[in-house]
Structure 1
């Protein structure tokens, strides 16, 4: 069957669709990436101070975690309806909803990462005269990066998927193509947009994993099997201990 015939036959895989709708696919993908990236960055900027507040003031931990969890349970249609009077049918409506959904993942992982920092590393840093700010940025955050990046990866993949819901207001990236194809069940468009969405999630996850490996080189160091003495700690904690 010719490639032109695959459109008439409504096949799942159709090369003619990819050629004739290439610009439409590119535009939808660019919009999808833009909305996802902006939502995750803003979500991280909001989640970080919330996590610090919850950790420094235990009385706020319950309300912060409870509120972010509650926001995550709100159905997307209800969330967009609540935000509609504020943002109208705009990309800001979708981005705000996605930011609110990302908070429960990001806040919890930031708190978990900070709590996993060994107390002896903190004590060694304080003994060297580190103040709260320097302790946070030079000791705690580097050691918390694996948990923080794990949360960021989960939030990013989740946001890639949730961005498609923005199609209900015409700002869903690849979700717009899926929604447009459903009434006539245009198979090639549904499959192509779905595959591209999955590929975006995979690529984003791999990129963040690469960034994590670059920022935490000490996690790749393996102690020698035949070593007769305990290896010195590596990473920021080891540097603090060594200087101390």
Structure 2
């Protein structure tokens, strides 16, 4: 993935129906890239789709042709603040090191992204592949800390083990390296936000209590994938029942 990944994502969303050039503003410009040219003047690459073909127009103050545009800023004009929030959330989660976008499954996203491929229909996030070589296991293990924390909150608050945890459990079972620190950090953040505490009694073992003062029980051998990852991160050694 390179700096133009947001651009590729815009094209995918355009084909998915988010931006229809017929509904764009009077200039017919769904989106553009703004930045500085090699002559250090403001420049813009205006992009639009015409009959499934990309049309690009260069624009700057002097009117001289330019070959480079740096310090890029993606500019999009949408119909409503709701659409802006959806796109902002999507772009904010993008990482140039990853070949995917993890989208929150809102009704709006599901509607406009319907025609586009996804890596799994039952995951908590909708994973939009930006490369034909991307695999779901790689996507899950490289989620941002914020996204990982959201998965933990679903587990703690709703008692549901999202499909993403199944892939993480498989990665652990295979002994494949993965960013352990970020998953442990997201777990600690989720524990704090959910009001869950882990105690270690003098007689040994450990106990997990939720914010309502109710003890939570977890089992490594027979529990869900989320339980296994939770216990593995707390206790790298083989875990028993809490």
Scaled by the length of structure 2, the TM-score of the pair is 0.22
Where relative contact order (Cα < 8 A, 6+ residues apart) is larger, the structure is: 1
TM-score (norm 1): 0.22
Give the structure with the higher percent helix: 1
- Normalized per residue, which structure has more strand? 2
